[in-house]
Structure 1
Amino acid sequence: MPQDMPPTGGYGAVQYKRNLPARGFRPSVYLGIMGAIMSYGFYKFGQSTRERNELAREKMWARIYLTPALQAEEDRDQVRRYLADKAREKDLLGTETKVYHSDRFVRPTFAVTPEKELK
C-alpha cells in the first residue's frame, strides 16, 4: 500500500479568516461628524449664555430704574397710614400724644397679627 502524499504543487490555501465586508464609514468620519455636532452645541450654548446674561442685565437695570418709584409709593402709603393713625388717635383720645421724647421722625413698623387666637 503506497503512503498518501500531498499532491504535486501542494494543497490549496486554507481560508481561516472571516471575510466580512466593512459596514459604515471609517472611524475618522464618525469622529469628524461628532466634532461638528459638539462644535455646534458649544456655539449654541455660548449664544444662550450671552442671551441669558443680557436678560439678567436688563432685569437688573429695570429694577434700578423702578426703585425710586416704588420707594415713593411706599412713602406715600406710610404717610397716609401715619395721618390716618393720628386722626383715629385724636378721635379716640381727644388729643395728640407723643410716643417718643424726640421730634425726630421714626419710620413706623407694622406687624400683622391674626384677629383670632390660633389654636
Structure 2
Amino acid sequence: MPQDMPPMGGYEPVQYRRNLPVRGFRPATYLFAIAGVMTYGFYRMGQGIREQNELAREKMWSRIHLIPMLQAEEDRDQVRRYYSQQAMEKELLGAETKAYNSDRFVRPTYAVTPSHVTK
C-alpha cells in the first residue's frame, strides 16, 4: 500500500487567527487625545487658581482699606456709650462723679489674664 503524501505545493496554512475588523483608533491616538485633554484641564486649573489668588488679594486689600472707617465707627460708638452712661449716672446720682483725674476719653483696654489655679 502506498504512503499518503502531502499534495503538490503543500497544505494551505492553518488559520489560527480571527480576521476581525479593526475598530477605533490606534492606541497612540487615544494617548495623545488624553494628554491634550489633561493639558487643557491643567491650564484651566492654573487660570482658576490664579483668579482665586487675585480675588483673595483684592478681598484682603478691601478689608485693609475699610479698617479706618470701621475704627471711626467703633470710636463714635464708644463716645456715644460714654455720654449716655454719663447722662444716666447724672440722672441716678444727681451729680457727675469722676472716677479718674482727667476728663480725657481713653478707650478701655481689655487684657486677657490667665487664671491662676492653685492646687
What range describes the TM-score normalised by the shorter chain of this pair? 0.7 to 0.9
Instruction: State the SS of the aligned residue for 2:12.
Output: coil
Match of 1:13 in 2: 13
TM-score in terms of structure 2 length: 0.78
Per-residue Cα deviation, 1:38-79 (whole angstroms, up to 9, x for no partner): 111111111111111111111111111110011101110110
Q: 1:34 to 1:25 in 2, by over 3 A?
A: same
Q: What 5-or-longer segments of structure 1 have no aligned partner?
A: 110-119
How do 1:41-80 residues align onto structure 2 when only pairs under 5 Å count?
41-80=41-80
For residues 76 and 87 of structure 1, the distance between their equivalents in structure 2, rounded to whole angstroms, comes to 16
4+ aligned runs moved over 6 Å, structure 1: none
Which amino acid letter does the alignment assign opposite residue 108 of structure 2? R
RMSD, aligned α-carbons:
2.1
Equivalences, count: 108
Give the letter for the 2:20 counterpart. Answer: L
- In structure 2, the residue corresponding to 1:8 is in which secondary structure? coil
Equivalent residue number for residue 30 of structure 2: 30
Letter paired with 1:93: L
TM-score normalized by structure 1?
Answer: 0.78
